[in-house]
Structures are given as structure tokens and as C-alpha cells.
Amino acid sequence: MFNKKVTVSFILYKENDQELIDWLDNQPNKSKVIREILTRSLAEITTTQEEQYARILDILERLQSRPVGIISNGDVPQVTEQVEETEPQDMSDSLDNLWR
């Protein structure tokens, strides 16, 4: 059984996309190379999103495992000890690198 062919087109602008146009002109099988690049890009996007989600979960897990130094007295929380004013360096680095 053969795959059914679907034609997809898009526009390149000579002024803005000349580098892409030149590169495509040198490709012996434009459809194949475009499919390969799109497939690879989609896999990278998915992996990146999964990695970011995993990092967020890791940060949340570490934050939840830290003592907060607050107790509840009815509806009004009270600080029981001096809570560190700055975040730990490893958490700071994780947050800074989250979207890179």
C-alpha cells in the first residue's frame, strides 16, 4: 500500500529568505530534506518542552522538601525562625537556566 501524497506549499521572499532559497536550490531532493528538518525540529521542540517540565517538577519537589519556618496559628501564619532571605545557589541556577 502506498502513502497518499499531500502537497504543502509555503512562500519565501527573495529579499528576506535568499539564503534559504539558495540552500534549497542546491538540494537534490527538496521534499526529503525539508521533511527531515521538520521532523528533527519537532522532536527537539518536544524534548525541550519535556526537559523544561521535568526541571520545573524538580524545582517544585526541592522547594516542597525545604522547611519553610512558618507555622499556622489559626488563619494567621507566624514566622518561627529567620527564613533565609536569598535562595540557594543551585535553585537560583536552575531557575535561571529553566528557559535556556
- Note the pLDDT tens digit of each residue in 15-35: 999 999 999 999 999 999 999
Between 30 and 56, whose confidence is greater?
A: 30
- Radius of gyration of the chain, Cα coordinates, nearest whole angstrom: 25
**Overall domain count for the chain:** 1
- Estimate to the nearest angstrom the gap between the alpha carbon of 46 and the chain centroid: 8
Does residue 28 fall inside a structural domain?
Answer: yes
Question: Are 98 and 52 in contact, with CB atoms under 8 Å apart?
Answer: yes
Residue 14 pLDDT: 93
Residue 99 pLDDT: 60
Residue 17 pLDDT: 92
Does residue 89 fall inside a structural domain?
Answer: no
Does residue 55 fall inside a structural domain?
Answer: yes
Mean pLDDT across 53-67: 75
Does residue 85 fall inside a structural domain?
Answer: no
Does residue 50 fall inside a structural domain?
Answer: yes
CA distance 7 to 34: 13
> pTM of the entire structure?
0.46
Does residue 80 fall inside a structural domain?
Answer: no
Structural domain harbouring 36 = 17-64
Does residue 36 fall inside a structural domain?
Answer: yes
Three-state SS at 27: coil
Does residue 48 fall inside a structural domain?
Answer: yes
* Residue 76: its H or E element: strand 76-79
